[in-house]
Structure 1
Amino acid sequence: MIAHLCCSVDAGYFLKKLKEDFPDEKITGFFYDPNIHPYSEFKLRSLDTERICRKLGIEYVEGEYDYESWLKAVKGKENEPEKGVRCSICFDHSLEATAEFALKNGDDKITTSLLMSPMKSQEQLNSIGKVIKRKYGIDFYAPDYRKKGGTQAQQIYAKETQMYRQDYCGCIYGIWQQKQDQEIIDELLSPVTRQILPASIEERLEIYKKRLEYEDEGSEYKIIKENFLNYRLLRGSVKFKVKSEKCKTENPGQTFGGAKGKWEIEDSYILFYSYLQRPARGRIDFVKDGIGYFNRMQIIFVEITKFNEILNKKYQNVKEITKSPPSIEEEVEFREKITNTKYSLSPIIIVDEIKEKYEVDIEAKVYPDIREILIKF
């Protein structure tokens, strides 16, 4: 039997019951979920689902992440609600792939852990299963393991085994509908620097990889949650003022951005937790040891040489930081050394060389959030 798997929480108890019902059957877990967005979330769910299969002694196969084919399949159904037509197409897409895999593998029946999810329609799944049987000549087994306390037992099992519990169905349209009233949807944001941000999918993926290492070495651990102040930089622009001789000779009195001369883009790097309520234009009040203090909005400019000195780095210029940035932990450490506090939200901007006048525009969000922490005993 090939069991299509969607996530560890639904797969765990479902596979456990399958093994009880089919003690002599070879069950293969087939993780096929090209609907999941982003790819890092796909890998995280696959990682934890494979872990549960290992615990239950079930062979695990990760299917192809064919996201483009899924997008084509649900085109025109982007605004459908949960359990609507888009979900039905999605089920059909996954179960067809499972049936094709079963035929190649020499298996004569399939099932799916989607049947375990209270968020999915068993009626939809059973209907699709009948079509699959007619089309591929393969049986579709559809047990209802939710009944007789199954859903409660599923949750207990998930808690006991410390499974990864996602907070959205998986697809980009589902998450948009579910979280559109939130101030920010973390799952849809990724930094150009490719840093691992706090409470991001990428951070959770690293945590769950480390958890596997602890289990392999036999170490005890616990995954807990903590409240903290999260941050996302949405966009940032830093310009410096240069005097334009051309402006003075050909267009006397012409202004650029409200002042004689012109503003040019400055190569800069904006540090984590840099928050600005509105755009600011002004000048550097004074510079001390490579650190320049702006005359407005508590903005701090730091030259690359000072940045290197404090963090023991060897960046030649600011552009190199973007290509190979420090970790967020290092950025927070740097902030504390510059401001003497962990709680500063003052914009800190790294530049190659401090100029006299600047225009700074930063759009960022600072918000309460929850993150997972892995504790090893």
Structure 2
Amino acid sequence: MLVHICCSVDSHFFLQKLQHDYPQEKLTGFFYDPNIHPYSEYQLRLLDVKRSCKMLGIELLEGEYDFENWVEAVRGLEREPEKGKRCEVCFDKRFEVSAKKALELGEKSFTTTLLVSPLKSQEQLNRSGEEFFKKHGVEFISFDYRADGGTQDQSRVTKEEQLYRQDYCGCIYGLTMQREQQERLMDEMFSPLSNQILPASIEERLELYIRRNELEDKNIPYKIIREKFLNYRQFSLKIISGKTEVIDAHALFYSTLPRKKAQGRVEFLHNNVGYFNREEILFVTLEHFNSECDLNYKNTKELIFNPPSFKKELKFRDLLRDSNYNLSPIIIVDEIPQTKLTIELDAKTYEDTREKLIDFLQNP
């Protein structure tokens, strides 16, 4: 039987149940989910599914990540709610490819781990499956593993196996409406041109789960925990000298301006730091930043497009301010300007949670 797989949270429990109920059935996993966006999220879910299938001894095949074709398929249905018409089109596309893959492999039946997701309509899934049975002759087998406490068992298995537990289905349109209802920043879609890994980003989680797999390969005990913290995202920064000259500048992590704009001058200099006369803003020369952080940037433009890790930025912030609660803008420039300046900084701090990996063999 071919088993279409959407994510490890659904697939691990679902495949365990199938192995128990149908011990003679050869199961082949098929990860085909072009709806997942961004691509880093797709990579993370695939990574966890590979680990899950390896643990269960199940062969896994990966389908094509044809996201652009998926977007075209659901065009006009962007504002449909969860379990609406967009979901039906999404199921149809994934089932179409899954049914063809089953035929290619000589399988006579297929199913999907979407059936176990409490966020999906089993009626919709079954209707799509029946249509493809008529069309392709590949039987869709429906299993209701949610019943009789199945959802609670699934949650237990997820926790025990320390699976990656995403908080959206993968669809950018579903996520947009979900974050609008929650009045939360959709920071999953933030991916800086600099490729800097941001805290609580998908890229940070991907690094964490890659590290988890490495620890497992070495039989090193670990634990994944969650922690609350103050997160930060910077949308834009612009420094204008005089009336028109734009200065290359980089604002360190946790730099904020309440009104997003300030005008004034650097009032005085001390130890390569310029003290602005508004909003507690500090200007730091690139030379000083390089020296204190053991870096070697040639100019600020290079820093903008290839910044250090946010941990290094925080370490430098602590050197200047000596406070874990400081949100003053700290701006790196080639030379500290002596002209009238307009500073436009759009950034946001907000409460968030993130995962943390504890390596039990690592020194504290």
| TM-score past 0.5 threshold | yes
1:254-276 CA-to-partner distances (Å, cap 9, x unmatched) read: xxxxxxxx331101111110001
Q: Secondary structure at the match of 2:245?
A: strand
Give the structure 2 partner of residue 158 of structure 1: 158
Alignment pair present for 1:126 and 2:126: yes
Alignment pair present for 1:365 and 2:314: no
Give the structure 1 partner of residue 41 of structure 2: 41
**How far apart in 1 are the matches of 2:184 and 2:235?**
12
- Deviation (angstroms), 1:149: 1.9
Aligned pairs for 1:71-150 within 5 A: 71-150=71-150
List 4+ stretches of structure 1 deviating above 4 A.
none
Alignment pair present for 1:351 and 2:333: yes
- Deviation (angstroms), 1:183: 4.0
Of stretches 215-224 and 23-32 in structure 1, the one that deviates more from structure 2 is 23-32
**How far apart in 2 are the matches of 1:8 and 1:15?**
10
| Bigger Rg over Cα | 1
- Taking a change above 3 Å as real, the CA distance of residues 221 and 104 of structure 1, as seen in their structure-2 partners, is same
Q: For the Cα contact (< 8 Å) 1:111–1:142, is it kept in 2?
A: yes
1:283-340 CA-to-partner distances (Å, cap 9, x unmatched) read: 1111123211111111111111111101111111001112321000000011111112
Give the structure 2 partner of residue 244 of structure 1: none
Q: Secondary structure at the match of 1:72?
A: helix
Q: Secondary structure at the match of 2:302?
A: helix
Alignment pair present for 1:286 and 2:268: yes
Q: Secondary structure at the match of 2:244?
A: strand
1:225-261 CA-to-partner distances (Å, cap 9, x unmatched) read: 11111101011111112xxxxxxxxxxxxxxxxxxxx
**How far apart in 1 are the matches of 2:203 and 2:42?**
11
Identity %: 53
Give the structure 2 partner of residue 235 of structure 1: 236
**How far apart in 1 are the matches of 2:314 and 2:168?**
30
Give the structure 2 partner of residue 256 of structure 1: none
**How far apart in 1 are the matches of 2:236 and 2:248?**
14
Give the structure 2 partner of residue 246 of structure 1: none
**How far apart in 1 are the matches of 2:146 and 2:184?**
35
Alignment pair present for 1:264 and 2:248: no
Q: Secondary structure at the match of 1:229?
A: strand
**How far apart in 1 are the matches of 2:64 and 2:312?**
36
- Deviation (angstroms), 1:130: 1.1
- Deviation (angstroms), 1:19: 1.1
Give the structure 2 partner of residue 224 of structure 1: 225
Give the structure 2 partner of residue 254 of structure 1: none
Aligned pairs for 1:190-205 within 5 A: 190-205=191-206
Q: Secondary structure at the match of 1:119?
A: coil
Residue type at the aligned position of 1:336: D
Residue type at the aligned position of 2:234: L
- Deviation (angstroms), 1:138: 1.1
Question: What TM-score, normalized to structure 2?
Answer: 0.96
Alignment pair present for 1:65 and 2:85: no
Q: Give aligned pairs, total.
A: 357
Q: For the Cα contact (< 8 Å) 1:332–1:342, is it kept in 2?
A: no
Give the structure 2 partner of residue 10 of structure 1: 10
Of stretches 142-151 and 309-318 in structure 1, the one that deviates more from structure 2 is 142-151
Q: Secondary structure at the match of 1:280?
A: strand
Give the structure 1 partner of residue 324 of structure 2: 342
Give the structure 2 partner of residue 253 of structure 1: none
- Partner of residue 323 from structure 1, selected from 305, 329, 332: 305
Residue type at the aligned position of 2:145: Y
**How far apart in 1 are the matches of 2:14 and 2:65?**
23
Structure 2 residues without counterparts, runs of 5 or longer: none
Structure 1 residues without counterparts, runs of 5 or longer: 242-261
1:28-62 CA-to-partner distances (Å, cap 9, x unmatched) read: 11111110111111111111111111111101122
**How far apart in 2 are the matches of 1:178 and 1:267?**
37
Q: For the Cα contact (< 8 Å) 2:249–2:304, is it kept in 1?
A: no
Residue type at the aligned position of 1:177: M
